[in-house]
Amino acid sequence: MGRKERAEERRKQRQQEISLLRTIPYSDHQRWWNSETIAVVTGANRGIGFEIARQLCGHGLTVILTSRDSAIGREAASVLQEGGFNAVSHQLDVLDPSSIEQFAEWVQQNYGFVDILINNAGVNYNMGSENSVENAENVIATNYFGTKNVIKAMVPLMKPSASGARIVNVSSRLGRINGRRNKIEDSALRGQLEDVDSLSEEVIDQMVHTFVEQVKDGTWTSAGWPQTFTDYSVSKLAVNCYTRIMAKVLSDRPEGEKIFINCYCPGWVKTAMTGWAGNVSVEEGADTGVWLALLPDQSVTGKIFAERREVHF
């Protein structure tokens, strides 16, 4: 059996393990949520976001789906409502600060709080190019700044509780600092990103700003950036790093006010965003995000996961 065949065999075995895990119900002492638990899922009108919302509804939560297009969002929510689930929708464009502000105000007025925030809204890499940078500014603005701005708007609304509120960022293994295919070659930058004690929001913002400027002036190719799905990889690297620093900030809050934040890679999922060319079903792609959102273990924060396993940054 060759290397590819062995890898495929391991992948299938792992998928079978995950499928089995999904059939095991949470015991009563692990179940910290109920029908009044509010979860927000961004970009939830289709694909991974919709499936995450569907699975959370299936666990009995109340889910707010967001979509840039109000009508499409209402249609997605109605599908869940017809299935007997407690789901509503609201417009949210993560690129528009006023849209984020209006959404936060609506949540506060109608629910008062949220327990879970899952940041799924984003844009994918250019399927036709492994070194996509044509839309770098938009990819960075959506995937990193959009995610960050939604978190900042929603943190004040996250419900204090003994169980702790949860934030899950849908990210990617392509955004690892020392990824096999997408390693950051700049040793000084890599050192800054690896040192979580000195890592800051300013460092991450400067990194993506430098990247975008180098894309504009054409110097990015010799600057040590990832050479595969470049703009997407940098955007998800920023999300992963921001997750780490937010974990420090949010875990320093007093008991009863803590917020646990993690990110995860859903894999190459068969959705419209990947041109239906992925090798992971949407149910499997959503699974780890839902698992993290409902995880009873409150010690898990500031980490990245794939297939319910922690992976290195």
Strand order in the sheet with 38-41: 87-91, 62-67, 38-41, 116-119, 165-170, 259-265, 304-306, 309-311
Greatest distance between any 2 Cα atoms in the chain: 60
Is pLDDT at 278 greater than 90 in this prediction?
no
Number of H helices, E strands in the chain: 10, 8
Domain boundaries, the chain: 36-311
pLDDT tens sequence across 134-147:
899 999 999 999 99
Judge residue 232's burial from the number of C-beta atoms within 10 Å of its C-beta, 0-12 exposed, 13-18 middle, 19 or more buried. Answer: buried
Residue 128 — pLDDT band, cuts 50, 70, 90? low
**Can you say whether residue 301 is alpha, beta or left, with left for phi > 0 and alpha for psi between -120 and 50 degrees?**
beta
Band (269; pLDDT cuts 50, 70, 90) = confident
User: What is the reported pLDDT for 68?
Assistant: 96
Whole-number CA gyration radius for the chain? 19
Sign of the torsion formed by the C-alpha atoms of 175, 181, 185 and 188 = positive
Segment (H or E) for 305: strand 304-306
Average pLDDT estimate for 196-208: 95
Give the architecture-level CATH label for domain 36-311.
Answer: 3-Layer(aba) Sandwich (3.40)
> Residue 21: its pLDDT value, please?
56
Highest mean pLDDT among 60-64, 188-192, 268-272: 60-64
Dihedral angle, C-alpha 152, 158, 162, 163, nearest 10 °:
-80
- pLDDT of 181 reads 65
Q: In the predicted model, what is the mean pLDDT of the chain? A: 89
Q: Name which residue leads in pLDDT, 238 or 296.
A: 238
Res 163: pLDDT: 87
Which of the following is catalytic: 26, 125, 144, 232? Answer: 232
pLDDT per residue over 69-85, tens digit each? Answer: 999 999 999 999 999 99
b/e code 4-20 from CB counts within 10 Å (16+ = b): eeeeeeeeeeebeebee
Percent above pLDDT 70 for the chain: 86
**Confidence band, pLDDT 50/70/90 cuts, at residue 124:** confident
What pLDDT is stored for residue 306 in this prediction? Answer: 93
Q: Specify which residues 87 forms β-bridges with.
A: 63
Q: What would the pLDDT profile of 149-193 be if each residue is shown by its tens digit?
A: 999 999 999 998 888 999 999 999 999 987 766 778 888 898 999
Residue 232: active-site member: yes
Distance CA 114, CA 116 (A): 6
Let me know: does 250 contact 155? Beta carbons within 8 Å: yes
Report the pLDDT value the prediction gives residue 132, as an integer from 0 to 100. Answer: 72
Residue 16's pLDDT is 65
